[in-house]
Each structure stands twice: as structure tokens, then as C-alpha cells.
Structure 1
Amino acid sequence: MELFSVEFFTALVTIIFIDLILAGDNAIVIGLAARKLPKEQQKKAVIWGTVGAVAIRAVATVLVVYLLKVPWLMVVGGVLLLWIAYKLLVDSDAHDDIQAGNTLWQSIRTIVIADAAMGIDNVIAVAGAGHGSILLVVLGLVISIPIVVWGSTLFIKLIQRFPWIVYIGSGVIAYTAAKMITHEKRLEDVFNHNPVFEWSFLILVVIAVILIGLRQNVRRAKAARQLESGGDSH
């Protein structure tokens, strides 16, 4: 990929957007882990917890960038990322398992461990969107870190107000996943020599993920309404 080309900046914007759309979990974890600390220590917990979490994530992402060069791992990563795109739409995890720390160190440790456990989606998505470029991945992380630390809570409020943003995010992740599959070296003959087939595949994958997630959400909302009406009748 040529440095500072349109493709380069498109990939960079995609990485930043993926970091932001998946930052909701980070903000929730940070808030829950630091909630019992005195006000003056909460800021320290947020900053140092995020620094530790980002350091682990940066190393993991660089490792995954190299791993994705192994035959068929682009396809495996792409399929896993499709699942992540779907889960982003339908996941209603309340993070009940995140324990608040009573000391600064406990809170920092909780943030780092929880983020490392949940960060696999971000790592695979960013590595896939980077198309093998370590510079892109590092640039994306550097730009995203301050936004995630100071802006993720604001971003959560934005998503709550405009839920369709999550569908755009899921679409971007699904597109990245489909791109990973089409960039698999062993499938070059299938996709690279037929641009119409490649674009049809990319568009179909994005539409399929969004429609399946939407259907699941509609079904869940309908079931919740029926439960409520059943409870009200009693």
C-alpha cells in the first residue's frame, strides 16, 4: 500500500472508526472498574488503565498482523470478524462480571485484564483493516487513544441517542471481514481476476450481517413487548 495514498487514508479512517465503534465496551469497563475510587484517583485509574490496556492491545495487534500472513488465517480472521460484527448488533451484555476496585492498583489491573479479554474483536478488526501495514495500525491506535480515553463515554451517549450508528459500525466491520477473506492469497484466483464477483461478495456480506442482526433485534424487541404485556395483564 502506497504511503499517504487514497487507499492508505481510507484504511486509516476505517481503523479509527472501528476503534471508536468498539470503544463502548472500554468506556463501560473503565467506568465500572473505577467507580468506587475517590474522584481524584478515578482520573489516574482511567489514564493508567487505558495505557496498560492499549500497550497490550498494540503488541497483540502487531502479532496478529504477522499471523494473518499464514495461509488461510485471513479467512479464519474474516469469519471470526463477521461473528463480531453480528455480536455488535445483538449483544446485550450488561458487564455484570466487572468488579469495581477498592484501590487504584486494583482498578488499573481490572481495566487491563478486562480489556485484554474483550479486546480480541478490536485486535482482529484493526489488523484486518490495516492490510498488513504496521504503520497504519500504530497510527490508528495513536489517533484513537485520546478519543477512546476522553470521548468514549460521549460516544456511548451518541449511540444511545442514534442507535443506527451501531448498524453503520457493524457494516464497516463486516466489510473489513469480507475484505480479509478476499485478500486471502489462496483465493486470489477466485476474487482478484473478477472485480464484479469480488464487489458482489463484499456487498452481500455487509447486507447479510446487517439484516440478520436487524431481524434478531426485531424478534427480541417483540418478545420483550409480549413479556411486558403478559406481566401487565397479571
Structure 2
Amino acid sequence: MEMFLQVDTWVALLTLTFMEIVLGIDNIIFISIVAGKLPEDQQKKARIGGLALALIFRILLLFSITWLIGLTQPVFTLFGIDFSWRDIILAAGGIFLIVKSVLEIHEKVEVHDIHKEVTAAKSFTFAILQIVMLDVIFSFDSILTAVGLTEEITLMIIAVTVSIIIMMIFARAVGDFVNKYPTVQILALSFLILIGFMLVMEGLEYHVPKGYIYFAVFFSLVIEMLNIRFRKKQQTQQKEA
């Protein structure tokens, strides 16, 4: 408990918590999109259940740091690139995320039969399986980043728990917003494609600064918010006319 009397501890905890929330944005967007395709009475269970599983995975990985760090050791070399289990997991997860996002965009743009779109992924179990797969990938990325910031497991557990609780609180608002506006949903799926590409690059040992991607998404979101406001203003003017 003595470490909590030090200013450095609180600075590290706040930094770590903020980082976990930022890294969790892609996770919560994916969960919101998958949960949004379920019947309304199951959406909350999918969102909360998905984030609860993310918390469990992260805590289990924190207690297995020695094993986790071992996954960064090369297991084979291909075209002059050393691949570890971490690289393989991140690359596979990135490919899954890209394929899933592209299929979702295709479904939104090309599918005109509402019943086909709704029944395509109505299975609660199937939705949870997809969420679990991405939870595992994002947990590896999140925890390995956290290990680089501090060696205190207690701080990491607190930061992860607080960030997941915050995401649980705002999960419904994010989900409702993303699913309310089709253009925002396409933007969110495009963001997930970028994240998938970044994970593949990480798996190939090419570091892509996350700040660039998050800034690009934030800028695009601001533009889309202005577009939504402009469209609402136009609709109001047309009604008044």
C-alpha cells in the first residue's frame, strides 16, 4: 500500500487507465456492431458479457506475464522476418478483423432484404464467439503495451478494471449512436479495417504509431458529426418551407 502514497504511482495509474480506455475503443465499437444485430433484449447481455470477458482475459494474462512475455520469442523465420506466437496471434486477429469488417460493410451496402440482414447473425452464441475472438486479440495487444509502461501488476489490474467499467457504462450510448446513423457505422467499420491492418503490420514486425490512426478516425468523426448536423438543419428547413 505504500506505493499509493507516491505521486509517481498515481501518474502511472492515470496514464495506464487512459491508455487502456483508448485501446479499448476499437473493442467497444466491434462489440456494439455485433451486439446491434441481435434482438434488442439480448443486446445489453452481449455488450456487458463481451466486456466482462475482456476483463477476465486481461486479468488472466496479467497473472501469466512470464508466459505472455515468452510468446514474444521467435518460433520460426520467414523471408528474413522472425515470427513469434504474439506476431502470429496479432496477424491472424488483424486478418479476421479486416475480413469481418469488409463483410459487414458489404452487407450494409449490398443487402436489401431486411430479413436476410437481421437473421444473418441473430445467434447470441455466434455473437459472443466473435466477441471472444477479438477480446483475446485486443487483450494481448493491451497487456503487452501495459507491461511496457509499468512493472506493477496491481496497477495494471486496477487500470484494466477501471477502464472496462467505464466502457461498460458508456457501451450502450456508443452502441446506440453507432447503430443509429448508417454513415457512422460505415466509418466505424472502416476504422476497424485500419486497426486490423495495423495488427497485421505489428505481426510482421512493422510498428505503426497508433496515434496517427486514432487522430485520423477522430478527425473523420468530427467531419461526420458536422455532416449529420448539416443534414438535420436541411431537413428542418425543408419542413418549414
SS in 2 for 1:119: helix
Matching residue of 2:134: 114
* Cα pair distance change 1:147/1:96, threshold 3 Å: farther
CA distance in 2, matches of 1:147, 1:130: 21
Mapped to 1, the partners of 2:35 and 2:101 lie a distance apart of 14
**1:62-211 counterparts in 2 under 5 A?**
62-64=63-65, 95-96=101-102, 101-131=121-151, 133-151=152-170, 154=174
Residue 95 of structure 1 aligns to a residue whose secondary structure is: helix
Distance in 2 (alpha carbons) for counterparts of 1:102 and 1:23: 24
Aligned to 2:203: none
Match of 2:37 in 1: 36
**Over the residues paired in the alignment, what is the CA RMSD in angstroms?**
4.0
Is the counterpart of residue 3 in structure 1 residue 39 in structure 2? no
1: CA distance, partners of 2:53 / 2:27: 12
Tell me the amino acid that sits aligned with residue 123 of structure 2. T
Q: In the alignment, is the contact (CA less than 8 A) between 1:36 and 1:102 conserved in 2?
A: yes
Partner Cα separation in structure 2 for residue 40 and residue 14 of structure 1: 36
CA distance 1:127–1:109, change in 2 (3 Å): same
Aligned residues: 148
- TM-score normalised by structure 1 residue count: 0.51
Please state how far the C-alpha of 1:129 moved relative to its aligned partner: 2.1
Q: CA deviation at 1:41?
A: 0.6
Structure 1 pair 56–102 and aligned structure 2 pair: CA distance change class (3 A) = same
CA distance in structure 1 between the partners assigned to 2:68 and 2:128 by the alignment: 29
Distance 1:141 1:10 in 2: 15
Structure-1 separation of matches of 2:23 and 2:210: 16
Q: What's the CA shift for 1:66?
A: 7.0
Task: Give identity over the alignment, percent.
Answer: 27
TM-score calculated relative to the size of structure 2: 0.49
What's the CA shift for 1:25? 0.8
1:10-61 CA-to-partner distances (Å, cap 9, x unmatched) read: 1111111111111111111101221221111100111112111221122123
